[in-house]
Structure 1
Amino acid sequence: MSNQNQEIKVENLEIPDRIKKDYIDEGITELNPPQRKAVNSGLMDGDDMIVASPTASGKTFIAELAMVNQVVKQEKTAVYIVPLKALASEKYQDFSERYENLNVRISVGDLDDEGKGLDNADIVVTTSEKLDSMLRHNPSWIHNIGLVVTDEIHLLTSPERGPTLEVTLTRLRELLDFQMLGLSATISNSSELATWLDAELVESSYRPVDLEHGVYWQNEVEFFTGDEEIDEEDDSSAPEGFKTGAEVKKQEEKKDEGRTEFIDDVHGRGVTNIIEDTLEQEKQAIVFCNSRKGAEKSSDRAGKVTDNDIDYQERQELEEYADRIVNVLGSPTSQCKRLAENVRKGAAFHHAGLVTEQRNLVEEAFRKGLIRTVSATPTLAAGVNLPAFRVIIRDLKRYTGSGMDFIPVLEYEQMTGRAGRPKYDDRGEAISIAKNPGMKDEILNRYILGEPERIQSKLAVKPVLRMHTLALVASKFCTDMDELLSFYKKTFYAHQFEEMSEVEAQIKDVVDQLIDYGFLHEEELEATKVGRRVSELYIDPDSAHRMLQSLEKAQQKEAVKPVSYLFMLARTSEMNPPLRVKDKEWSDYEQMLMDARDYLLESIPNEWDVEYESFMNSMKTAAMMQAWIGENDEEKLMNEFNIAPGGIRAKMRNADWLVYAAKELARTEELDTDKDLEKLRIRLKHGIKEELLSLVKYDQIGRVRARKLHDNGVRDMEDIREVSFEKLKKLIGKRTAKKLKKQVGEENIFDRENIMDYFD
């Protein structure tokens, strides 16, 4: 970050002592080029700004300068928007440590609140979805916002997150007068984005460490800088510390004499060679793969190499991490054991199939240098800050539903941006594996020399318009059709495409649909009571309509079972993607669907109808949830439904919110289903049968301990009071037994022989 010729010194800016400790004490005393550009372009004067520069170029520090300026000087609240909860946690931790005298808060959880406790916040770290949700409640604290930082603002082009971010920014700009700061990767139409936001554009290609792009093919790596190709035949032209192509090939031939048994494909062999070279330089590497299975297989291979690089002390520490990873779940799965075994060898895989605690442990051990390589899916590139000296891109294609297609250039740049650690390396290396001779030139032209794609608005999708249109009307932000259309004309979509006739037609269709659902009044553009509640609950109006219809039928049915409600949940858009029924499973799930017919709250279509396949997939999704509340462990669910623990947790979080929303909707419409839904919500949370409901209400009693207690005759409060402490200790451990006894008011009532054991 240092540059001898720069004039603007960090110490000349009014910033907290903690920043000086973090930056100046480390020798970072001057602003780097994008930071200097931002300050010179009016950052500290409150000007709106888009900063487009590579990963690790110091964009967060630009945001910090703006935050301090607004919070300390202007006494305003700064909001920092990130795309993912994991990123929010990381930024919250960083800002909390750095700004010890400021009130830093994080808000990413409950989507049915206005931001409790944020009235006195100086800095609020949140996601766009959570901020959108809070705006629907019109909280008073938002009127003190002086700065909104949007990290990864180029994700406006994301079909999943872009529309909500776009509507939220448009709405904030209409509501408030504040400084807008967007942080973006390098994109080809950053000027278009800046024009939409009426913001200054600060562009820079600066990186604190040089990034060298290479291509591996037939045991050789060729590095490219700009449009110049490095001659790998000339030792002097290869980057210092890295083998020329000839040297790598020679090493490979020697290695192949006795260790070919674990190298079973070309790109796997290439990754292994590069990892070996990385370890010789005492560096770390991240390997990006196009699938979870690919990442796991890559990690298995890497472990056979990294295992020889671990010393005794490191092995002891890795053993501790492995034990924690394998015991995260109540009953370890084969995936848990596989990851733990890799970690013991100094390797790991990282993908959405892991639960959050496992991903956090992998990241922590990697940052400490204990884990030498992480094999990951591309989600890691867009997630937490986890740089490495070398990034290896094993797969540049992935399956998209219509075949294997090349990944976007922007995604390639996000992955390669992880190469090089500013505090430790003077350069980083990004090496792509070519799968065939022609791919070498393809990688060079498409990715290394290629332009990142233009970001494009994804707002014009009916489900998105349906949800946000209801929110705009329910919060009385728009009170008639003209205001509604006027709002959408201020979005990035309107700015990009100008022609709004198609969107206007869709908006009118959406309004008609919301009227049919009973969420808007027919006479005037105003939300009904239930429509307002749907908006506040932050669920798709279509999902709300389906659930309300199902809940009304539930009241009329004589027999309603858990599968009735589970199928209802599986039919909502929030549970997408559903579990897919494979051809070989079709007859089994068709029979299951027929067996459940009398209990379902929707009529089953004919098998030739278009909707029939959707019903089958919903049945499989409901069956997975049924298995979960039937106390089947994660391993069985993995084998039977092909869903990893991380996926199970994600589905259960969505299901939990939907059940809560269903309860609220039922209460609003005065439907008597509250008791059944509350039982189901607790069962989904813990993965238990109904007979354990009376036990899991106690702190630290989950599905495993509750089952132990129940099977040993401890089934309710009276049993807990009556059972001896000695027996309880054997069942659930001394510490938990103490807490359980205390919760039922029995902490001081033990027989004499156990009283000292309790208090020790």
Structure 2
Amino acid sequence: MSNSKDERDGLGPKDKDSGRSRSRRGSRGRGPRGDESRKGASASGPASVDEAPAPREPVRERERAPRDGADERPRRAADRTGAPTTFKGFTLSAFQLQAVRAIEEGHDVLLSAPTGSGKTLVAEYAIHKSVERGKRCIYTAPIKALSNQKYRDFRDDPDIDVGLMTGDVTIHPGAQVLIMTTEILRNSMLENPDSVKDVEYVIFDEVHYMDDPERGTVWEESLIFAPPSIRFICLSATIDNLGQLGAWIEEIRTHELTIISSTKRPVPLKHRFYLPDVGIFDEHKLPRVRKQVKDAAGRSERGGSRRRATFAERMKRRDDARRNETRGFAVLLDELIADKNTPILVFSFSRKDCERLALVNKHRRLLDREESERMEQLLRATMAGFELDEKQMIGELFQLCLRGIAYHHAGMLPVYKEVVERLFTSGLLKLLFTTETFAVGINMPARTVAFYGLRKFDGETFDYLRTRDYLQMAGRAGRQGIDSEGLVVSRLDEKDLVEAPLERLVRGKPEPVESRFRLSYSAILHLIEGLGRERLFEAWQKSFNQFQHREGGRKARERNAHIQKRFLEGLLGFLHEAGFLEEDDEGREVLAPKARVARQVYGFELQTAEWLWRGVLEEVDAAGLAVLFVGLVFEDRRRFNEERIPQRMYGGVRRHAEQIIGKLAKRESQFSVPVALKQPDWGLTPAVVAWMRGAPFDELQDEVDIPAGDMCRCFRMALQVMRQLRSALDSSYDLPDRLSEAIEALGRDEVDARRQLELG
């Protein structure tokens, strides 16, 4: 491997002797769709392994092999190539075997398979191989809950030295196996590349998150900037352009890549629809049901009044429709429960609806006497483990749990969500109403998945689900080794019959992953110092964005390159105008002093550095610092909800802070930057002040009408920014001490993520 500066930067040409055949590299000109032939891929794209013989034993994604107390290392039988055919006591499936062989050969791996099919076992195999060789390994997850779950899994393995870094929690960062969020990995690569130079494998769980509009760029940047020696295991849900994604990874990385695609589920799914006046019906009956409903609607229109309804009448109709929806769904649940199709995961894309539906169903008693006793014992034990007051047993949520019912969403305190997750894995929760977050990564399958609706808010409008999202949630149906098939039922209304893309959801191809490459300010500042401004555009030239646009004609490619270059030049122009970049004695653009602070703060780097440089943080006590940084990260989900915050609650400091960011944002707008700097939102200020004075968490909602989970998450985000700022400052200043005081006071009790993790 070359040791040139270009290769150390991760932006230079590849080593000609890297082990990849010259003919494979020579096929690059065949286009970005990944049509070239390569290991694990046919001429038309990634190889499908679904036709291979079925494994003799089921592969379970999270279960661990039984231990005999003498030899606790995973046992592996080998095939004729020397690769193992079993791992952790389970016979490997066809796609797992192919992935294991690729790992044995030192390849990168891009694996696409349905939810619950056993992708994680491939990652665990790579980790165990690295551990056996004395190498380090990093496992990244898109959400902190999944990171915490994997940390606990590996913590229980005596062969693995494991640590965790999520922003909320740092435990044993020098461990041989390190679990972290993808943002932490990207930040480590930019800030201190030497910290990952001895890593053999990086596992990207849920790599299709590259498609996320807000966070997707982090996955791209990590693949681009990782040292050439690192190998990647990329695990993905089923996507349409796997070959294209693989061709890009193969182009920018050093090692040979094996692409594996499997569409076969260990437990097949049965998709059904439900309409109150029709009942449960199959997909092939859709045309008949549509005609039946259309005819009925026509008769109703001919017999109805043409008078325009009053506002009160329209509101009554809406309320009646809501009640009818609830009653109709109750009939569906009656049928599913009677047919012994529990546990049931009900996906609803409204937090309020999750709670409302759970409470509407509280009359159900889904546990027999023996199960009820086990549930009460388990609930008491789990609450004691998390040091929750037993008086909370009489609360709404836990009373529902005692009936085998619960709800789960991001507005709940993290510890309550974790209690619900523990109860669900026990099999004693028979009916769980949840938002889509329950489908991401955390392996908690059910017998049945029911969709209360198929439309969700995408940040701008309400629209029908993407096929990929539907399949990810539907994939939670069917438990390996228990169910012969999983049942998926979607509740429809008459409008859905006409407008919903029902055939596409059930039978269509999942959407392709699209590049969301957009360098952050902190990434730009790191790259300028490492590469210089003149080479900064090379980062985009290695991006998936550039790769995908090769398919277009010459004019389209040139137009995209012009847009990207103009965007980058706008960012650079703004950074120079705002004093983050300056020229040295030789006329080269270099980082100004405040940029050296900004580059170590991720997400709110410019606002934080500007506050520091403009004196906003001077003479502010610990509570005032907490108010400022919670205001910086908080964004009220509700629209048009401005509440006046009393002047006595750091009104002067807040006004000064807001003016500083307002001026900075005005400068930014002059350079046509498409995503504006976030302005502070002071809506949580009364709760922050009360919390810093020692109030219990359950009293904070007396101060502000914000869900407890949202408050806790914002407090933790503010802690992360304050920790980053503290690390960037010279300890001779007094600000680090005040930040430490604020961090200690804000990060107590329910907000203390490390305490929750250790208790669990």
Alpha-carbon spacing, 1:110–1:360, altered in 2? closer, same or farther (3 Å): closer
Question: What is the deviation of 1:54?
Answer: 0.8
* Aligned counterpart in structure 1 of residue 139 of structure 2, from 62, 80, 92: 80
Is structure 2 residue 521 aligned with structure 1 residue 466? yes
Give the equivalent residue in structure 1 for 2:432: 374
Q: Which runs of 5+ in 2 are unaligned?
A: 1-48, 60-64, 66-70, 78-83, 251-256, 290-319, 551-559, 667-675, 756-760
For 1:527-582, what per-residue CA distance to the aligned partner results, in whole angstroms no more than 9, with x for missing partners? 455533433343532222332145x1454x7xx5667535532553xx04246574
For 1:375-429, what per-residue CA distance to the aligned partner results, in whole angstroms no more than 9, with x for missing partners? 1111111141111010011121123454422222221111101111112111101
Alpha-carbon spacing, 1:492–1:402, altered in 2? closer, same or farther (3 Å): closer
Is the contact made by 1:420 and 1:426 (CA closer than 8 Å) also made in structure 2? Answer: yes
Give the equivalent residue in structure 2 for 1:684: 746
For 1:103-134, what per-residue CA distance to the aligned partner results, in whole angstroms no more than 9, with x for missing partners? 34333346899x7323xx1x332221121232
* Aligned counterpart in structure 1 of residue 423 of structure 2, from 365, 370, 378: 365
Is the contact made by 1:2 and 1:29 (CA closer than 8 Å) also made in structure 2? Answer: no
For 1:598-648, what per-residue CA distance to the aligned partner results, in whole angstroms no more than 9, with x for missing partners? 7743365999x999x999972323333223324444444335422222222
For 1:158, the aligned partner's letter is D
Give the equivalent residue in structure 1 for 2:216: 162
Give the equivalent residue in structure 2 for 1:735: none
For 1:65-112, what per-residue CA distance to the aligned partner results, in whole angstroms no more than 9, with x for missing partners? 33344443x543332221112212222333444x53343433334689
Give the equivalent residue in structure 2 for 1:60: 120
Alpha-carbon spacing, 1:427–1:58, altered in 2? closer, same or farther (3 Å): same
For 2:214, the aligned partner's letter is E
Is the contact made by 2:439 and 2:476 (CA closer than 8 Å) also made in structure 1? Answer: yes
Aligned ranges for residues 501-540 of structure 1 at < 5 Å?
A: 501-523=562-584, 524-528=588-592, 530-540=594-604
Q: What is the DSSP-based 3-state SS (H/G/I as helix, E as strand, rest coil) of the residue aligned with 1:117?
A: coil
Moved more, 433-442 or 422-431: 433-442
Partner Cα separation in structure 1 for residue 130 and residue 737 of structure 2 = 48
Between Structure 1 and Structure 2, which shows a larger proportion of helix residues? 1
Alpha-carbon spacing, 1:62–1:592, altered in 2? closer, same or farther (3 Å): same
Percent identity over the alignment is: 23
Give the equivalent residue in structure 2 for 1:392: 450
Partner Cα separation in structure 2 for residue 554 and residue 83 of structure 1 = 32
Give the equivalent residue in structure 2 for 1:545: 609
Give the equivalent residue in structure 1 for 2:533: 481
Is the contact made by 1:459 and 1:465 (CA closer than 8 Å) also made in structure 2? Answer: no
Is structure 2 residue 690 aligned with structure 1 residue 627? yes
Is structure 2 residue 252 aligned with structure 1 residue 188? no
Alpha-carbon spacing, 1:598–1:92, altered in 2? closer, same or farther (3 Å): closer
Is structure 2 residue 370 aligned with structure 1 residue 313? yes
Is structure 2 residue 99 aligned with structure 1 residue 35? no
Alpha-carbon spacing, 1:500–1:437, altered in 2? closer, same or farther (3 Å): closer
Is the contact made by 1:302 and 1:373 (CA closer than 8 Å) also made in structure 2? Answer: no
Aligned ranges for residues 601-616 of structure 1 at < 5 Å?
A: 601-602=656-657
* Aligned counterpart in structure 2 of residue 129 of structure 1, from 183, 190, 194: 183
Is the contact made by 2:210 and 2:513 (CA closer than 8 Å) also made in structure 1? Answer: yes
Q: Which runs of 5+ in 1 are unaligned?
A: 233-261, 689-695, 701-760
* Aligned counterpart in structure 1 of residue 544 of structure 2, from 455, 472, 492: 492
For 1:90, the aligned partner's letter is Q
Alpha-carbon spacing, 1:10–1:661, altered in 2? closer, same or farther (3 Å): closer
Aligned ranges for residues 139-538 of structure 1 at < 5 Å?
A: 140=194, 142-172=196-226, 175-198=227-250, 199-218=257-276, 220-222=278-280, 224=282, 265-280=323-338, 281=340, 283-305=342-364, 307=365, 309-320=366-377, 322=379, 337-400=395-458, 402-436=460-494, 438-439=496-497, 442-460=500-518, 464-474=519-529, 476=530, 478=531, 480-498=532-550, 499-523=560-584, 524-528=588-592, 530-538=594-602
Question: What is the deviation of 1:218?
Answer: 1.7
Partner Cα separation in structure 2 for residue 384 and residue 298 of structure 1 = 23
Is the contact made by 2:116 and 2:475 (CA closer than 8 Å) also made in structure 1? Answer: yes
Partner Cα separation in structure 1 for residue 196 and residue 660 of structure 2 = 47
Is the contact made by 1:567 and 1:600 (CA closer than 8 Å) also made in structure 2? Answer: no
Alpha-carbon spacing, 1:367–1:334, altered in 2? closer, same or farther (3 Å): closer
Is structure 2 residue 696 aligned with structure 1 residue 655? no
Is the contact made by 1:33 and 1:206 (CA closer than 8 Å) also made in structure 2? Answer: no
Is the contact made by 1:149 and 1:180 (CA closer than 8 Å) also made in structure 2? Answer: yes
Q: What is the DSSP-based 3-state SS (H/G/I as helix, E as strand, rest coil) of the residue aligned with 1:197?
A: helix
Partner Cα separation in structure 1 for residue 144 and residue 501 of structure 2 = 33
For 2:596, the aligned partner's letter is R
Partner Cα separation in structure 2 for residue 24 and residue 495 of structure 1 = 36
Moved more, 480-489 or 19-28: 19-28
Q: What is the DSSP-based 3-state SS (H/G/I as helix, E as strand, rest coil) of the residue aligned with 2:682?
A: helix
Give the equivalent residue in structure 2 for 1:240: none
Moved more, 351-360 or 203-212: 351-360
Give the equivalent residue in structure 1 for 2:149: 90
Q: What is the DSSP-based 3-state SS (H/G/I as helix, E as strand, rest coil) of the residue aligned with 2:415?
A: helix
Alpha-carbon spacing, 1:51–1:116, altered in 2? closer, same or farther (3 Å): closer
Moved more, 413-422 or 403-412: 403-412
Give the equivalent residue in structure 2 for 1:731: none
Moved more, 503-512 or 188-197: 503-512
Q: What is the DSSP-based 3-state SS (H/G/I as helix, E as strand, rest coil) of the residue aligned with 2:476?
A: coil
TM-score, normalised via structure 2 length: 0.72
Give the equivalent residue in structure 2 for 1:646: 709
TM-score, normalised via structure 1 length: 0.72
Q: What is the DSSP-based 3-state SS (H/G/I as helix, E as strand, rest coil) of the residue aligned with 2:260?
A: strand
Partner Cα separation in structure 2 for residue 663 and residue 679 of structure 1 = 11
Matched positions, count: 631
Moved more, 358-367 or 439-448: 439-448
Question: What is the deviation of 1:64?
Answer: 2.9
Alpha-carbon spacing, 1:18–1:94, altered in 2? closer, same or farther (3 Å): farther
Alpha-carbon spacing, 1:530–1:317, altered in 2? closer, same or farther (3 Å): farther
Q: What is the DSSP-based 3-state SS (H/G/I as helix, E as strand, rest coil) of the residue aligned with 2:600?
A: helix
For 2:199, the aligned partner's letter is I
Is the contact made by 2:341 and 2:447 (CA closer than 8 Å) also made in structure 1? Answer: no
Q: Which of 1 and 2 has higher RCO (CA within 8 Å, sep 6+)?
A: 2
Question: What is the deviation of 1:370?
Answer: 1.4
For 1:490-545, what per-residue CA distance to the aligned partner results, in whole angstroms no more than 9, with x for missing partners? 12122123532222222233233334455444233544555334333435322223
Is the contact made by 2:73 and 2:159 (CA closer than 8 Å) also made in structure 1? Answer: no
Is the contact made by 2:167 and 2:720 (CA closer than 8 Å) also made in structure 1? Answer: no
For 2:456, the aligned partner's letter is R
For 1:677-710, what per-residue CA distance to the aligned partner results, in whole angstroms no more than 9, with x for missing partners? 443333323489xxxxxxx99x99xxxxxxxxxx
Aligned ranges for residues 564-643 of structure 1 at < 5 Å?
A: 564-570=624-630, 572=632, 575-578=633-636, 582=640, 586=643, 588-589=644-645, 592=647, 596-597=651-652, 600-602=655-657, 618-643=681-706
Question: What is the deviation of 1:315?
Answer: 2.2
Is structure 2 residue 110 aligned with structure 1 residue 50? yes
Partner Cα separation in structure 2 for residue 184 and residue 44 of structure 1 = 20
Partner Cα separation in structure 2 for residue 615 and residue 228 of structure 1 = 49
